[in-house]
């Protein structure tokens, strides 16, 4: 399960590090240079070639060129884009948007859409003559089947009246994806929101009711959803065992930290997991995958991991993400009220609640896998520390959550 998402983690860093880099000596390459000029966050490589200028690779638009020209490394030299991604001009983007009948009045590259730019090759907000705003996105051709599955899911849920769903736009012929420029293009309305205060929101108890209501309504709206209940739903225990085998083979130095976590889960959770009731889940339900209003949810985004999973999957992911922002939130009003409201609504079976606290711990292996994939040593260490904290305080959490 490749977690292509940006970390919602720990306030240790923002959703994506924006590394501007340092001045480069002649011939030195800066390989961890993230362009902050537009929503794509392109990974740039620059190489200073003395008086010949600065070579730039990896920019997806002309804003990348402008950004590199401002760096001390450029030093007033000419910046030459070598093998860049296609530079999407205004006229080109207007032509693509016209496939959906959108007459582009303006591009809004400074508007940053919510969600991970890793899931697209390019994206930009466009505005039509009536002031409507849309996100025009380019995705890999290989993503067609997966994207159409998401599009159909959102159409189904929207038709059932589920609030917080933003369906993709179809053209006049009912087509959602257009193949152009070596990739597929899609269009979705741009939803503006109220930014989360990362220091405060984890303690704002009112959000519990909003978050709980969405999960309750999602369960009802997803009844009858095609392919929502496959014969073999996602198995977290199989995933954990596969990941641990890979860690033992490729990162054996981590095993002294991992073995006690597995030993804890083997006490009961691993044997019972595959018997837990399943249901349709968002698959990545956490506060940064929500576009918030003043007191409500305007849109839930990033449905790439949606599907049939143990029914408590979304709640466990939400609680785990809130706790990693700050451990005190695990016993704060937001988490405690969220759990209480869902228990009161009878959303999950008793067996799911009995193993919920263990599920929160087990699900963090998905995040550990993400940091291992990115070779992010800081986040690997943080995640292992978080495992320790959750296990050490397990009994306290069970009491606080009235489980």
Distance CA 277, CA 350 (A): 10
What pLDDT score was predicted for residue 232? 66
What pLDDT score was predicted for residue 80? 73
What pLDDT score was predicted for residue 67? 81
One-character DSSP codes across 12-23: TS-SS-------
Distance CA 40, CA 316 (A): 30
Where do you find CATH 3.90.1200.10 in the chain? 201-400
What pLDDT score was predicted for residue 32? 52
3-state helix, strand, coil in the chain (%, to 5): 45, 15, 40
What pLDDT score was predicted for residue 21? 33
What pLDDT score was predicted for residue 87? 60
CB count in 10 Å sphere of residue 141: 11
CATH of 90-189, one of 3.40.50.620, 3.40.50.970, 3.30.200.20, 3.30.2180.10: 3.30.200.20
What pLDDT score was predicted for residue 354? 96
Q: 357, 397 in Cβ contact below 8 A?
A: yes
Rounded to 5 degrees, φ, ψ at 310 are -50, 140
Where do you find CATH 3.30.200.20 in the chain? 90-189
- Coil/strand/helix, residue 205: coil
What are the residues whose beta carbons fall under 8 Å from the beta carbon of 2, sequence distance 6 or more?
Answer: 373
Q: What is the pLDDT along the chain (403 residues), one digit of tens a residue?
A: 333 333 333 333 333 333 333 333 333 444 456 777 766 667 777 777 766 677 777 777 777 777 888 877 777 777 776 654 556 778 889 999 999 999 999 999 888 888 877 778 888 999 999 999 999 998 888 899 999 999 999 999 999 999 999 999 999 999 999 998 667 999 999 999 999 998 899 989 999 999 999 999 999 999 988 855 555 678 899 999 999 999 999 999 999 999 999 999 999 999 999 999 999 999 999 999 999 999 999 999 999 999 999 999 999 999 999 999 999 999 999 999 999 999 999 999 999 999 999 999 999 999 999 999 988 999 999 999 999 999 999 999 999 999 9
Cα Rg of the chain (Å, integer):
23
What pLDDT score was predicted for residue 110? 81
Record: fold of 201-400: Aminoglycoside 3'-phosphotransferase; Chain: A, domain 2 (3.90.1200)
Q: Model's pTM, two decimal places? A: 0.81
Q: Tokens 């200028």 appear where?
A: 53
Distance CA 127, CA 131 (A): 6
């Amino acid at each position: 399960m490749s977690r292509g998402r940006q970390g919602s983690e720990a306030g240790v860093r923002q959703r994506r590090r924006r590394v501007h880099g340092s001045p480069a000596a002649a011939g030195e390459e800066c390989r961890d240079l993230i362009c902050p000029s537009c929503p794509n966050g392109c990974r740039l490589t620059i190489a200073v070639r003395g008086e010949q200028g600065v070579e730039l690779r990896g920019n997806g638009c002309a804003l990348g060129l402008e950004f590199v020209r401002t760096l001390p490394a450029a030093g007033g030299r000419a910046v030459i884009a070598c093998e860049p991604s296609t530079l999407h001009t205004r006229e080109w983007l207007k032509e693509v948007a016209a496939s959906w009948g959108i007459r582009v009045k303006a591009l809004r590259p400074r508007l940053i859409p919510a969600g991970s730019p890793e899931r697209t090759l390019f994206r930009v907000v466009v505005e039509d003559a009536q002031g409507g705003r849309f996100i025009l996105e380019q995705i890999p051709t290989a993503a067609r089947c997966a994207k159409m599955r998401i599009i159909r899911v959102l159409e189904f849920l929207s038709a059932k009246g589920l609030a917080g769903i933003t369906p993709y736009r179809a053209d006049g012929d009912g087509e959602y994806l257009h193949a152009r420029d070596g990739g597929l293009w899609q269009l979705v309305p741009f939803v503006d929101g109220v930014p989360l205060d990362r220091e405060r929101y984890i303690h704002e108890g009112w959000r519990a009711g909003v978050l709980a209501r969405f999960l309750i309504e999602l369960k009802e709206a997803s009844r009858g959803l095609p392919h929502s209940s496959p014969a073999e739903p996602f198995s977290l225990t199989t995933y954990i065992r596969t990941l641990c085998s890979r860690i033992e083979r490729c990162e054996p130095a981590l095993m002294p930290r991992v073995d006690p976590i597995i030993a804890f889960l083997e006490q009961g959770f691993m044997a019972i997991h595959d018997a837990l009731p399943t249901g349709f889940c968002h698959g990545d339900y956490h506060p940064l995958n929500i576009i918030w209003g003043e007191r409500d949810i305007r849109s839930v985004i990033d449905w790439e991991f949606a599907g049939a999973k143990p029914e408590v999957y979304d709640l466990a992911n939400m609680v785990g993400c809130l706790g990693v922002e700050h451990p005190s939130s695990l016993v704060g009003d937001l988490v405690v009220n969220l759990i209480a409201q869902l228990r009161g609504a009878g959303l999950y079976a008793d067996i799911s609640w009995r193993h919920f606290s263990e599920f929160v711990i087990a699900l963090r292996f998905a995040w550990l896998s993400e940091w291992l994939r990115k070779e992010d040593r800081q986040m690997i260490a943080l995640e292992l520390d978080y495992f320790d904290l959750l296990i050490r305080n397990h009994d306290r959490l069970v009491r606080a959550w009235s489980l």
